[in-house]
Amino acid sequence: MNSDYTICLDGDLQHPPDLIPNFIEKIKNFDIVIGKRRRKAGEMPFIRILSNSISSFLLGLKLKQKIYDSQCGYRAFKTNKIMDILPETDGFESETEMLIKASRKNYSTGWVEIPAIYGNEKSKMTKFKTTLNFIYLLLK
């Protein structure tokens, strides 16, 4: 790859591209930068606030570091680091897997606050399967 940085954002319009400069500025001092969605009622559905809070807390315990948003897909990576942490999973738990791999390599993680943008779309996430996969990753 010929770029210093790689930016990922979900294609469902939940991540405003105009915040990319914030990620570029922050990634200069970290290996990975992750969006930190505001968990506010009215901005984020309650069930998402709950699942994100619990999963971020549990992952933080495993990794022995503060994890603000384990599920956010808005991320920046130093390109020379991303190849080492690509996920083997292809589901909603891939964001978690990447954080676990990055922690094992002692990669530094920074955070950029972003809005939580939700429309009326129906989630494609299968809650039971995703939860089981997340638990599997935590115990692995």
Span 53-92, pLDDT tens digits: 888 999 999 999 999 999 899 999 999 999 999 999 887 7
| Share above pLDDT 70 across residues of the chain, in percent, rounded to a whole number | 88
Task: Determine the Cα–Cα distance for residues 13 and 80; give it in Å rounded to an integer.
Answer: 27
Paired sense of beta strands 32-37 and 75-78, if any: antiparallel
Question: Which 8-state DSSP code applies to residue 44?
Answer: B
What's the predicted TM-score (pTM) here?
A: 0.84
Locus of tokens 């990922």: 8
CA dist list (Å): 109 to 19, 68, 70, 77, 124: 18, 11, 12, 9, 28
> What's the token pair of residue 133?
């996969």
Which pLDDT band holds residue 98 (cuts at 50, 70, 90)?
Answer: very high
Domain ranges of the chain: 5-139
